[in-house]
Amino acid sequence: MTKAQLRKAAKAVVAKGRKAQGERTRKAILEMAVNVASAEGLEGLTIGRLALELSMSKSGLFAHFGSKEDLQVATVEAARAIFINEVIKPAFEAAQGLNRLWKLCDIWLSYVQAGVFRGGCFFAAAAAEFDGRPGPVRDRIAEIMKEWLGTLRDAIVEAQKAGQLKSDIDPTQLAFEFNSLELGANWAFQLYGDKSAFARAREAIHERLARHSTRAGSTLLSRAITKVVNQ
């Protein structure tokens, strides 16, 4: 290998190392940002605040995010990735239909109860903060909330196609009800510290599923509930 080739290879190694370091730094920044925003709101995020929390220079942190809005949008995306890992992926390990639908609801409640985000459900807090404030941050939050409602609705439709839920129910309405119950549990837990809100939400979701289940669906639902109780 020639000297020129060696120099080129050395530069490539250095560049790769810097890129990896930059990715690690960005990840650490966003992990801190998600926790701050879940408890204090996305408006509580500032370059100065995060620099202080992470013992970084403002200029070093600013290099990763050109503006406060860029930081807020990146924080929303980071929270979405955490939500997918904590809720969506585990729930999708269950079979399509009623089992998956129950898992989506049950794991969502568990993720809030476990304190995955310091301030409860990140998206419940972000939606309340930005619902009346047009712009890229609000738009992305709305898209992600719509994704969740769509995921619930799809699971309901799959359960109907499998003959586990009655065909005459409105999937959009039922998804809306489940989401409302989940957000209500999050609200009661965050505002009052009421841990029993999760049991009440589960009971209400179970009651609706039992009411709308077919005979085959009722058997599946009983097994799913028994499994949760015995865990």
pLDDT band at 4 (very low <50, low <70, confident <90, very high): low
pTM of the model: 0.84
18-40 pLDDT tens trace = 444 557 888 888 988 898 888 88
% of the chain beyond a pLDDT of 90 = 60
Over residues 142-149, mean pLDDT? 97
- All domains of the chain in start order, with CATH: 72-230 (1.10.357.10)
Q: What is the DSSP letter of 84?
A: I
More confident residue, 185 or 231: 185
Q: Which of 168, 171, 131 is nearest to 151 (CA)?
A: 171
Q: Given this model, what pLDDT does residue 118 score? A: 82
Q: Given this model, what pLDDT does residue 161 score? A: 97
Q: What is the DSSP letter of 42?
A: G
Residue pair 193/111 in contact (Cβ under 8 Å)? The answer is no
Length of the chain: 231
